[in-house]
Structures are given as C-alpha cells and as structure tokens.
Structure 1
Amino acid sequence: MPRPYVLLSAAVSLDGYLDTRPGEDRLLLSNSADFDRVDSVRASVDAILVGAGTLRADNPRLLVNSEERRAARVAAGQPEYPLKVTITGTGDLDPNWKFWHHGGEKLVLAVGNKAAERAHANLGNLVTIQGIPTEATWQTALDVLGDIHGVQRLMVEGGGAIHTQLLAESLADELQLVIAPLLVGQPDAVRMLGPAHYLGGPTARLRLLETRQIGDVVLLRYAPKDISTEPR
C-alpha cells in the first residue's frame, strides 16, 4: 500500500507560536467552532499522530468527540476512533498518560533499539510498539503506517519539531494552519516551525488551497509539495 496522505494541522499566534514558554498553562489559540472543525478532520482520517513531547507537555486524549461522527465511522465500516500514533526517540513514555486509556487502537513508533526496549519496559502490553530505524526515519514510519496498518490518511497534530521535519523532507501533502488573533512575544515560547532546508528554499511559494474565516481565526490550507517561484 502507498504511503499515507499526510495532513499537518496546527494553530498558531500571529507571531508564529504554538504555545507560550514551557511550564506555563497551555495557550488555547483557537475557538469552539474551529475545535469542532478539527474534530471533523479527525473523524475523516485513518490515524492521528503526535510526538512524545506533545504527550508529555499536554497529556491529550486525542479523540473524535462527536458521537455522530463516531457513529458515521462505524456505519462506514471503520473503527470508532482513528488509530492513535506517537513517535519517540527515547521510549520515555508514561503509562499513566491519557493517550493510552481513551479511544481505540494505539501505536508507538520507537526510533532505534534502545527506544523500543525502553518503550516496552514502560508500557508493557498496553499498546502496540513498532521499532523503526534511525535512518530514513519518517520514510520508514510512513511505510509502516501504510503497509502494515493500512493508513491512507494521516493527520499530524504536532509538535513543531515534527511539522518541521515532515515539511523539510517534503513528506507533507497538506498543511492546515489556523491563525489566531494573539501575540505571544516570548522569545522562549514554542514555535510552530524551526530552522530547516525547506523544499525550494526561502523563495518557494506554496500553493494556497483555501482560506476560511472561522469566528475570530482564519484557516489557511496549503499544498507544501506544490511550489512555485512566482506569485499565483
């Protein structure tokens, strides 16, 4: 089976931050209408992926909250919830995190033998753990999700390092970016993207798929693989 269609999803402040500085209460960037939109996107995919750092910082459940959307998935012959996936380079995963105890199937992608061993030691039989190599990590991860787990559409909800890596390796098919009317202004706050060699360099222009106002936030949808050096 081919690699999944990779959809990156994030909300950022006007100055490009995902959150305030580490250790502070989580910053809610979006609004209720957009949270419902995100819920509908979750219901439309086969798997949702977040990094272990996001689990550590936010302790999310990462569910489809709408009963109607879950029922529609079941009626269509799908699991009630998408497969929940995290990726770790250390295996330092807390068995008490909410992620493991809500929703349907869970998968840990452990990068390297030591991470896989530690993940097994920490989680036991709580979840499925799949070891992947340290070379070509993301290509292998996507191959595993497609070939072994049948994932056709993958939603990636962070964190920023993962978004950066997937965009830099030209593995993201779509970016759904919500811009919130907030200014964080903290130099040590959590940024959406970090330094990287992105496809086409700093003059490359991504193709805009959609703009949509949702209350006081704006959704921008881009196709990261479709670039040009000229305005469209």
Structure 2
Amino acid sequence: MSRPYVLLSVATSIDSRIDDASTDRLLLSNAEDFDRVDQVRAESDAILIGAGTMRADNPRLLVNSEARRAARVAAGKPAFPLKVTITASGDIDPGLKFWHHGGDKIAYTTDAGAEKLRERLDGLAEVVSLGETIDLGRLLDDLGARGIERLMVEGGSSVHTAFLSAGLADELHLAVAPLIVGDAAAPPFLRPAAYPGGSTRRMQLAEVRAVGDVALLRYLPKEGAA
C-alpha cells in the first residue's frame, strides 16, 4: 500500500491572500485558470477541502466539463473524483452543496466528532475517525488503501499549512492573480508554522506559465536545497 501523490492547488492575490474580508467570495482566477483547475480535478482520484472552506464558499467541488467526465468513465473511473473533507469538531451543515452533488464522499474527523458527524451525514457520506486528533498521515494511509493514487488539495489556509508543514505535499500549484487585497483581516495562503528545512530551504520550481493574466507557478516541495 502506498500513499497518494498529494497536489496542493491555490489561487492567491499578489499579497498572498486567498480571499478578502467581505462576505462575497473574491474571484482570483480567470476563465482560463478555472478551466485548468477543472483539468487537474479530472486527473485526480480524490479532491480534498477543509470544513472551513466548505462553510465559507459552499462549493460543489466537481469536474465541470462533460467531456472530461466522459473521459474518466471511458478510462474505467467514476465520473467524479472522490470528495473528501476534514473536520475536527464534526460541526458541518449537511445542507451544504458539497454533500448533494457529484459522487462518493468521505468526512475525516476525530473520535470526538465522529458520533455527531455520523448522525448528521447519514446517507450522505462515509465518516472516518483518525483518532484523538486529525492525523494527516493516517488520512493518506486510508486513502491509499482505497486505491487513491492522486489527491488534489484545494484548501483552505489551515489545510494547506498542515500538509506543507508536515512535509506531505508532493506538488504545489500556485496561481497568482494580478490583484492586491491589502487587508490584514483577509485569509492568507499559509499560516505561521514550522516548515521542513526552515526559511533557508528552497523548493524546486518546475514550471512558470501565464494563464491569461494569472501567473501559474508549479513547485515540488519535497525537492530543493538549503
């Protein structure tokens, strides 16, 4: 059994914010970049977001292209990747769009959150406890045992921070929009944490590409030198 390849995907402003502080969602990507993300989703076996992102954005988290869904089915895969979320508390609204669109879903939680979540998500998702705390290593082991080879992680800040600080990200897609939010209350891409190698470790830059007016930077976090 092997763990899935973990790809983190995020769109940020120039000042590294993934949203502003208003109640409306800030659209950082453009049409071309949304299509690129849809392609990455179609190439993934599972897509993960944190409970905070689910509450804030209420996404469906789907492969939107009918042609890409048909290609997945032709390759013997489900039309939609497995949808995954993480919640330590189990405090999730079962009415959110995430639970009512697409294919299979899994909610990973703690022992304390499992009973509440199983009652709330009965018939909507499988609930898996990771123990007393959220253990991302156990999460990846469980997904690997289910045959998941490629996991796409779409945020938010706490989830991206957790994967990168634990050294569990294999690839990072950083889409930088030509916007400056300029608000300290706006959520950042990453939070303070102890990252592998500290501030002197340089990741390997694998690709730089213009996607319309967005700059796509593709990094390999596990590769690089101090």
1:97 match:
96
1:93 deviates by 1.1
Report the 3-state secondary structure (helix = DSSP H, G, I; strand = E; otherwise coil) of the residue aligned with 1:20: coil
Amino acid aligned to 1:178: A
Quick one: which of 150, 153, 167 aligns to 1:153? 150
**What's the TM-score once normalised by structure 2's chain length?**
0.98
Letter in 2 for 1:48: I
Aligned to 2:16: 16
1:25 deviates by 0.6
User: What residue number does 1:41 align with?
Assistant: 40
* Counterpart position of 1:131: 129
CA distances 1:76-131 after superposition (whole Å, capped 9, x unpaired): 00000000000100111111100011001011111x22211110121122211111
SS of the aligned residue for 1:72 comes to helix
- What is the one-letter code of the residue matched to 1:122? R
Deviations 1:29-86 (A, max 9, x none): 0100000000000000100000011110000000000000000000000000000000
**Cα separation, 1, equivalents of 2:71 and 2:11:** 26
Q: CA–CA distance in 1 between the matches of 2:73 and 2:119?
A: 33
Alignment of 1:32-111 (within 5 A): 32-110=31-109
- For residues 127-154 of structure 1, the C-alpha deviation after alignment (integer angstroms, 9 at most, x for no partner) is 111111135700000001111x211000
Q: What is the aligned length?
A: 226
Alignment root-mean-square deviation, CA: 1.0
Q: Which amino acid aligns with 2:184?
A: P
Measure the CA separation in 2 of the matches of 1:53 and 1:8: 16
- State whether residues 200 and 227 of structure 1, in contact with CA within 8 Å, keep that contact through their aligned partners in structure 2: no
Runs of 5+ unmatched residues, structure 1? none
- Output the TM-score relative to the length of structure 1: 0.95
1:116 is aligned to: 114
Structure 2: give runs of 5+ residues left out of the alignment.
none
Instruction: Name the SS of the counterpart of 1:63 in structure 2.
Output: coil
Residues 186-213 of structure 1: per-residue CA shift (max 9 Å, x gap): 0110000010111111011100000000
Match 1:165 to one of 162, 181, 185: 162
User: How far apart are the structure 2 equivalents of 1:220 and 1:117?
Assistant: 41
CA contact (8 A) 2:88 2:134 kept: no
Aligned equivalent of 2:194: 197
